[in-house]
């Protein structure tokens, strides 16, 4: 069954009305009561939130702390960009501020039972958002003007009375001592302090410069004093989010701020890293789908996929063979786990791509489009992504460097693309959209790769995993991949890996060189040398003459018959006009300007008229690749080592095909016979085929000549008698020389 008949997306996803920004939870908006209801309303928020293992432990710790039953006083959330920090802070905010009873918060009652907390006290919550606050601008609350982080904290916890306690420090921009802060927090307890994007605030403070919000040093001292103070109050807890990497910290000041803060947080924090990839499936699925489908139906479909992967085990990645993969299919339904793996493993390495939020935004656009175009796939797979849709395409290239738009349009998806044309011309491919599903899968698996990666691209088994559905023939997709490699200018392949790039591969260079290859000076010389090579040395012929002018083919009895190999323009055709017979006849009757005496010593091997044009094309391709390899090695064509390897592989591959085609082309043995027609001897040609796959060509030719009795090794007397009667011993002839009979025959 198609996924759309089992799962139902949320209404905002279906209607395409979800706002990108709404995926970005904003803690200040919630604290001010201005957020959309799904974030503002505690009950709705928990209904749509999947409590991950990490979040569960954290909420337990918060509950224990507020109920004075242990727990960590300071928790540092250190997660990758888009790793769910703000969402976690919101979960804590709603648990602590308790606008609704805990019994109405989905997932919370069992958590409190587990922690042994009968009654969770309501707590004061202060929210310090580093992005919303400015170091050089004060904030006004009623009559009060507040400059610093500590002023803001005191005001949020205890209002006017709290601020009074450290008004002097706020005015001077100097950090209040640990004692004042401990007093403040004790009065406010039970309380929760949530600090988001702290580095974003502190990195704005240049060293040695005084701001309204204090100096770099006074702010770092405040954090140190605050973390110490939290330890002294058993029912107060602080959560702060710090970026995971220096890149996210931003610039040298960001890096310096992160180092300073990490030092102080590390004394008392418990670092908490949320969201495993598996859990991310569930987060995304909950946010996008109102109902992911009936459990039995979902398992039934996952089982079909799992069985299909096991049946063709050698074609798919090893992990698909385990029962665990069946579980993953069930958990991520209706989205194929491979989409999550690629987005979480590959795309999340891109600077602008936020993990959970980025996946949500991307998949929401994809699902909206698929729903409206009545997509009938069993699962939403990498091969399903509608990259021909302008919104999906824009979102896909938003995270990538410049130059992807034309590549997608021409080579990946859309009505003017090569895969679209391939699917349109061949029903084997078109019936399952094999070309487009394959290119979309390669794009998803390879576009975010950095050009300097040692191992680039996506393996063939992963391409099949992303494109093929149960019931389809795996071979069709393998064939289309080969076809795409021959046609596309931006698709690269190395060993078993494939990737798209915004720089054209060398195929375009090869195409232009191919057009300029001279037939006489390059191509014919190549073909002649390759044909000569096919015969090797050991043969029982008096000579083998490859593309030799008639004047250079001896007219003698020699040690055996001569094999004359005709050139490409003298091809054998089954049609009326046969260039092979015309050319062979000229050689048969003349040696240059002289008439040939010993015509019965020649056998001809002719090329097949239908294969010659393919052979010439293949010869040009080989010469073009060979010249590219030479030029890269000489330095006249500036390319990197991966291009050189690609050119060498293409050259070797085209040489293999050329050698194969040589054998397929020269396969017609033609022999002249003389027959009496109306009492006069007349020339008749006979032609037979030699197998192109025979291991030894000369041996195959000799066997064929013997089989056809064109070449006779021994003769029974009755044949000799008939021959003598017909040609020699008639009228009054009394005798004839044995040598003459032998030479004539």
Q: Is residue 445 part of a domain?
A: yes
Query: Distance (Å, rounded) from C-alpha 744 to C-alpha 128?
Result: 111
Residue 83's domain is classified under what CATH number?
3.40.50
Binning pLDDT at 50, 70 and 90, where does residue 121 land?
confident
Q: Is 209 helix (H, G, I), strand (E, B) or coil?
A: coil
Which of 384 and 345 is assigned the larger pLDDT? Answer: 384
- For 412, phi then psi, to 5°, come to -120, -55
Whether residue 673 is predicted with pLDDT greater than 50 in this model: the reply is yes
Write down the pTM of the prediction: 0.63
Closest CA to 7 of 325, 332, 327, 384: 332
Q: What pLDDT score does 95 carry? A: 87
Binning pLDDT at 50, 70 and 90, where does residue 420 land?
very high
Choose the final residue of a domain: 250, 268, 286: 268
Whether residue 467 is predicted with pLDDT greater than 90 in this model: the reply is yes
Tens of pLDDT, residues 59-93: 888 888 888 888 788 888 766 444 567 778 888 88
Residue 255 sits in the same domain as residue 342? no
Q: Checking phi first, is residue 73 left (phi over 0); if not, alpha (psi -120 to 50) or beta? A: alpha
Closest CA to 329 of 365, 111, 624, 321: 321
Whether residue 144 is predicted with pLDDT greater than 60 in this model: the reply is yes
Which residues, listed in sequence order, are joined to residue 602 by a DSSP beta bridge? 562
Number of compact structural domains in the chain: 4
**Around 537, how many Cα atoms within 13 Å sit in the side-chain half-sphere?**
0
Query: Distance (Å, rounded) from C-alpha 188 to C-alpha 180?
Result: 13
The tokens for 258 are 């992160």
Q: Where in the sequence is the domain holding 737, given as residue range(s)?
A: 714-745
- For 373, phi then psi, to 5°, come to -100, 10
Residue 463 sits in the same domain as residue 537? no
Query: Distance (Å, rounded) from C-alpha 626 to C-alpha 637?
Result: 13
Q: Is residue 112 part of a domain?
A: no
- CB of 199 closer than 8 Å to CB of 260: no
Residue 388 sits in the same domain as residue 469? yes
Q: What pLDDT score does 82 carry? A: 46
Residue 597 sits in the same domain as residue 478? no
Q: What pLDDT score does 48 carry? A: 76
Q: Is residue 368 part of a domain?
A: yes
Residue 540 sits in the same domain as residue 442? no
Residue 681 sits in the same domain as residue 552? yes
Strands lying side by side in the sheet with 602-607:
543-546, 562-565, 602-607, 666-677, 680-689
The tokens for 675 are 């027959």
Closest CA to 238 of 68, 123, 73: 73
Average the pLDDT over 539-567 and give the result.
88
- CB of 444 closer than 8 Å to CB of 400: no
The tokens for 661 are 């085609």
Query: Distance (Å, rounded) from C-alpha 42 to C-alpha 175?
Result: 35
Average the pLDDT over 539-559 and give the result.
86
Determine how β-strand 139-141 pairs with β-strand 236-243.
unpaired
Choose the final residue of a domain: 505, 530, 564: 505
Q: Which residues touch 22 (CB under 8 Å, ≥6 apart)?
A: 36, 38, 39
For the ranges 18-27, 89-98, 718-727, which has the lowest average pLDDT?
Answer: 18-27
Residue 535 sits in the same domain as residue 653? yes
Q: Is residue 378 part of a domain?
A: yes
Closest CA to 94 of 44, 156, 152, 53: 44
Query: Distance (Å, rounded) from C-alpha 315 to C-alpha 309?
Result: 8
Residue 499 sits in the same domain as residue 543? no
Q: Which residues touch 508 (CB under 8 Å, ≥6 apart)?
A: 489
Binning pLDDT at 50, 70 and 90, where does residue 244 land?
low
Cβ atoms within 10 Å of 258's Cβ, excluding its own: 23
Helix pair 418-425, 474-487: axis angle to 10 deg: 130
DSSP designation for 572:
B
Q: What pLDDT score does 451 carry? A: 53
Tens of pLDDT, residues 180-220: 899 998 998 789 999 888 888 888 888 888 888 888 888 88
Query: Distance (Å, rounded) from C-alpha 461 to C-alpha 445?
Result: 12
Determine how β-strand 497-500 pairs with β-strand 543-546.
unpaired
Helix pair 434-446, 418-425: axis angle to 10 deg: 150
Residue 737 sits in the same domain as residue 723? yes
Whether residue 652 is predicted with pLDDT greater than 50 in this model: the reply is yes
Average the pLDDT over 214-238 and give the result.
89
Q: What pLDDT score does 274 carry? A: 54
Residue 641 sits in the same domain as residue 679? yes
Share the mean pLDDT of the chain: 85
Q: Is residue 640 part of a domain?
A: yes
Q: What pLDDT score does 249 carry? A: 64
The tokens for 208 are 């040695």
Q: What pLDDT score does 293 carry? A: 87
Average the pLDDT over 411-431 and give the result.
92
Choose the final residue of a domain: 207, 240, 268: 268
The tokens for 727 are 């040609």
For the ranges 127-131, 319-323, 547-551, which has the lowest average pLDDT?
Answer: 127-131
Q: Is residue 511 part of a domain?
A: no
Q: What pLDDT score does 623 carry? A: 94
Tens of pLDDT, residues 155-180: 898 888 888 888 888 888 888 888 98
The tokens for 137 are 């601008």
Give percent above pLDDT 70 in the chain: 94
Residue 478 sits in the same domain as residue 542? no
Average the pLDDT over 428-449 and give the result.
91
**3 state SS for 246-258:** HHHHCHHHHHHHH
């Amino acid at each position: 069954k198609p996924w759309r008949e089992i799962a139902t997306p949320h209404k905002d996803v279906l209607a395409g009305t979800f706002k990108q920004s709404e995926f970005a939870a904003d803690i200040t908006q919630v604290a001010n009561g201005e957020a959309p209801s799904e974030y503002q309303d505690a009950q709705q928020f928990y209904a749509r939130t999947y409590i991950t293992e990490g979040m569960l432990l954290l909420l337990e710790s918060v509950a224990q702390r507020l109920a004075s039953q242990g727990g960590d006083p300071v928790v540092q959330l250190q997660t990758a960009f888009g790793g769910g920090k703000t969402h976690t802070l919101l979960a804590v905010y709603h648990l602590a501020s308790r606008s609704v009873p805990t019994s109405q918060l989905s997932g919370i009652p069992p958590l409190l039972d587990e922690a042994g907390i009968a009654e969770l006290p309501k707590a004061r919550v202060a929210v310090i958002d580093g992005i919303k606050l400015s170091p050089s601008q004060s904030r006004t609350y009623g009559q009060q003007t507040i400059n610093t982080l500590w002023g803001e904290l005191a005001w949020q916890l205890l209002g006017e009375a709290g601020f009074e306690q450290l008004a002097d420090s706020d005015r001077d921009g100097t950090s209040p001592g640990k004692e004042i802060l401990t007093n403040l927090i004790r009065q406010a307890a039970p309380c929760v302090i949530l600090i988001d994007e702290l580095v974003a605030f502190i990195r704005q403070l240049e060293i040695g410069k005084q701001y309204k919000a204090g100096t770099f040093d006074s702010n770092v001292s405040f954090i140190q004093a605050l973390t110490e103070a939290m330890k002294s109050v058993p029912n107060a807890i602080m959560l702060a989010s710090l970026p995971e990497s220096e890149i996210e910290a931003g610039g040298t000041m960001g890096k310096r701020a992160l180092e300073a803060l990490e030092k102080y947080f590390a004394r008392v924090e418990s670092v908490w890293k949320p969201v495993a990839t598996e859990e991310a499936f569930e987060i995304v699925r909950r946010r996008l789908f109102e109902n992911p489908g009936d459990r039995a139906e979902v398992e039934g479909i996952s089982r079909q996929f799992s069985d299909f992967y096991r049946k063709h085990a050698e074609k798919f990645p090893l992990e698909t063979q385990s029962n665990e993969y069946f579980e993953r299919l069930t958990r991520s339904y209706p989205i194929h786990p491979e989409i999550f793996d690629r987005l979480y493993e590959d795309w999340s390495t891109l600077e602008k791509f936020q993990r959970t939020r980025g996946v949500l935004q991307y998949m929401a656009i994809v699902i909206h489009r698929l729903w409206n175009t009545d997509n009938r796939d069993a699962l939403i797979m990498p091969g399903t992504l509608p990259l021909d849709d302008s919104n999906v395409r824009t979102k896909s290239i938003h995270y990538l460097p410049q130059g992807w738009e034309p590549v997608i349009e021409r080579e990946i998806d859309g009505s003017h693309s090569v895969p679209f044309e391939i699917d349109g011309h061949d029903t084997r491919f078109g019936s399952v959209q094999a070309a487009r599903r394959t290119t979309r899968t390669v794009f998803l698996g390879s576009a975010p790769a950095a050009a300097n990666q040692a191992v680039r691209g996506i393996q063939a088994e992963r391409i099949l995993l992303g494109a093929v559905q149960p019931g389809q023939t795996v071979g069709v997709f393998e064939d289309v991949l080969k076809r795409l490699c021959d046609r596309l200018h931006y698709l690269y392949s190395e060993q078993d890996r494939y990737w798209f790039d915004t720089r054209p591969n060398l195929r375009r260079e090869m195409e232009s060189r191919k057009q300029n290859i001279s037939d006489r000076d390059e191509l014919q010389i190549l073909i002649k040398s390759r044909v000569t090579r096919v015969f090797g040395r050991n043969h029982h012929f008096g000579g083998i003459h490859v593309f030799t002018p008639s004047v250079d083919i001896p007219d003698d009895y020699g040690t055996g018959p001569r094999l004359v190999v005709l050139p490409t323009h003298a091809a054998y055709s089954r049609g009326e006009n046969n260039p092979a017979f015309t050319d062979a006849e000229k050689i048969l009757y003349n040696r240059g300007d002289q008439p040939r005496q010993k015509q019965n010593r020649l056998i001809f091997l002719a090329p097949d008229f239908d294969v010659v044009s393919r052979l010439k094309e293949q010869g040009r391709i080989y010469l073009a690749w060979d010249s590219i390899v030479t030029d890269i090695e000489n330095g006249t064509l500036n390319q990197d080592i991966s291009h050189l390897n690609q050119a060498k592989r293409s050259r070797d591959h085209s040489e293999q095909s050329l050698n194969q085609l040589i054998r397929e082309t020269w396969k017609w043995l033609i022999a002249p016979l003389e027959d009496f027609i109306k009492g006069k001897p007349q020339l008749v040609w006979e032609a037979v085929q030699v197998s192109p796959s025979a291991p030894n060509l000369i041996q195959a030719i000799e066997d064929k000549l013997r089989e056809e009795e064109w070449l006779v090794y021994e003769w029974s007397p009755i044949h000799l008698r008939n021959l003598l009667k017909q040609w020699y011993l008639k009228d009054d002839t009394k005798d004839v020389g044995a040598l003459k009979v032998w030479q004539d025959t």
